Amino acid sequence: MSKPVVLIAEELSPATVEALGPDFEIRTCNGADRAELLPAIVDADAILIRSATKVDAEALAAATRLKVVARAGVGLDNVDVRAATQSGVMVVNAPTSNIVSAAELAVALMLAAARHVAPASAALKDGQWKRSKFTGIELYEKTVGIVGLGRIGVLVAQRLSAFGMKVIAYDPYVQAGRAAQMGVRLVSLEELLEQSDFMSVHLPKTPETLGLIGDDELARVKPSLVLVNAARGGIVDEHALYVALKEGRVAAAGLDVFASEPCTDSPLFEFENVVATPHLGASTDEAQEKAGIAVAKSVRLALSGELVPDAVNVQGGVIAEDVRPGIPLTEKLGRIFTALAGEIAQQLDVEVRGEITQYDVKVLELAALKGVFSDVVEESVSYVNAPVLAAERGVAVRLVTEGESPDHRNLITLRGTLADGSQVSVSGTLIGISQRERLVEVQGYDMDIEPTDHLAFFRYTDRPGMVGTVGGILGAAQVNIGGMQVARDTKGGEALVALSVDSAIPAPVLEEIAQAMDAGFVRAVDLTE
């Protein structure tokens, strides 16, 4: 019997091949060369890549036997996860392989910017001895603001605490008690901007965080601020940073990531007080080796039909066929839950009702947690680290099953209690032979709407004309409505409008709708990858 074929499309550490073992036929190709990749992937059972190989719909269509795509790293920008899922191909990565390397680089950039390491080195190599020109500043007893207290943010905070810095952080998804245990004081973003001598960004790139540090934010900071972004390009608005540096409103910056990469020609490069590196966060021997070994182990598990904890789209392993369709739905419910809550719940119940409860539905709890944390932490979230993230943030999680489901064949509900005692709930089901996903309850209001990529929810006092108002504003903004549901508790009481739209609703348009409706609750949800 022939061995499964594992295609290694980029240079990986020797430890990767060793971790695969003798059970596979190992082939290699240059994944960056499409003419070489497409014929090579045809009969591959698994492909191992880094960042240069693009596994898109075309490549997946050519791969007749492919079962798993393994990215030896964290980011998945070069993998079409949705197309892979539709093709039944598992996608795995190495979510924790680079966290130490990324944290260390952020600290390195901070030190380099504070002490003018790059321009001083360049001047000296050019034959210039300019000690007085490159007088720097110490980190000791300064205040550093960490924007995003996920795993990498925590590592940076720990390391900078050892420098004798005062550490503050902004992260609405971390509880103050948890931060205090680490010696970190949680503050609002406005406070962090005003108090920080140094600032380091460690957030995921989402529609909500894109441009988070822009003109208004940089107008609040001290002119002595040293700003570091080694997380994701675009979170810090590069034009706003350029203007702030040009006008002397920011002292220095350390950048490892850019809005568009590869980036070799940025206006920011004209400043001596900007130290820049070409996305080197994961570029250490140790991180590459950890990543290679991690995905090699995942490939072995996937091809042997076992549970794959680091799968980002399907879990693999022994999961009942009746349960599998509920996994992506539950993950979406988790993302919707977090968007509705605006924070992480202290208590989260994952309630599963109906026929599927005769099977093991533990995977649905994991899928819910994966969704809950996907848009709020910098690192990749998987089935293996989602429970850890919940524990780190003090979230009590409970799986509740009930065989009876009066209104639906199967029903999945996420119900959580927030810090102020209020509750958030969202429910979904699958309908028809094609198992179409439907949202059937939000915040206690019954509805029936497809959970498309872009959703919005408005709660207001029930009165005539509101549907027309919403439609008119969105029409003027060229945002097309795909579906709309209006639910209310009583006539003239509280009502909820749920919208599915074809494109994201810009923040100013959301605000315009909220004011026109006098809405007490406004939430937009982006379910794009």
418: which 2 tokens?
A: 């927030």
- Amino acid identity at 226: V
Taken in order 463, 465, 468, 474, the sign of the CA dihedral is negative
Catalytic residue among 11, 18, 261, 355: 261
Residue 166 CA: distances (Å) to CA of 19, 238, 255 = 42, 27, 22
Please tell me the distance from the alpha carbon of residue 422 to that of residue 289, in angstroms, as a whole number.
Answer: 45
Choose the catalytic residue: 279, 300, 415, 523. 279
**211 contact partners, CB below 8 Å, separation of at least 6:** 234, 235, 237
Select from 436, 421, 253 the least CA-distant residue to 343: 421
Q: How far apart are CA 476 and CA 497, in angstroms?
A: 19
User: 152-177: string of b/e by CB count within 10 Å (b at 16+)?
Assistant: bbbbbbebbeebebbbbbbbebbbee
d(CA 486, CA 493): 12
Asked about 270 being catalytic, the answer comes back as: no
Handedness of CA 30, 295, 69, 391 (dihedral sign): negative
Residue 174's φ and ψ, nearest 5 degrees, are -120, 135
Strands 481-488 and 494-501: antiparallel
C-alpha closest to that of 495 among 471, 465, 474, 472: 465
73-100 b/e with 16+ CB inside 10 Å = b?
bbbbebbbbebbbeeebbbbbbbbbbbb
Specify which residues 382 forms β-bridges with.
Answer: none
Tokens 């739905």 belong to residue: 329
Is 279 one of the annotated active-site residues of the chain? yes
Closest to 198 (Cα-Cα) out of 159, 247, 232: 159
What sections of 168-281 are H helices per DSSP? Answer: 176-181, 189-195, 215-218, 238-246
The 3-class secondary structure across 470-497, one letter per residue, is: HHHHHHHCCCCEEEEEEEECCCCCEEEE
Question: 337 CB contacts (<8 Å, ≥6 apart)?
Answer: 345, 348, 368, 371, 372, 414, 416, 424, 426
Question: Which listed residue (232, 300, 353, 454) is catalytic?
Answer: 232
- Whether 408 is catalytic is no
**47 forms bridges with which residues in the sheet?**
7, 69
Distance (Å, whole) CA 300 – CA 389: 26
Helices (H) and strands (E) in the chain, counts: 17, 22
Point out the residues that are catalytic: 232, 261, 279
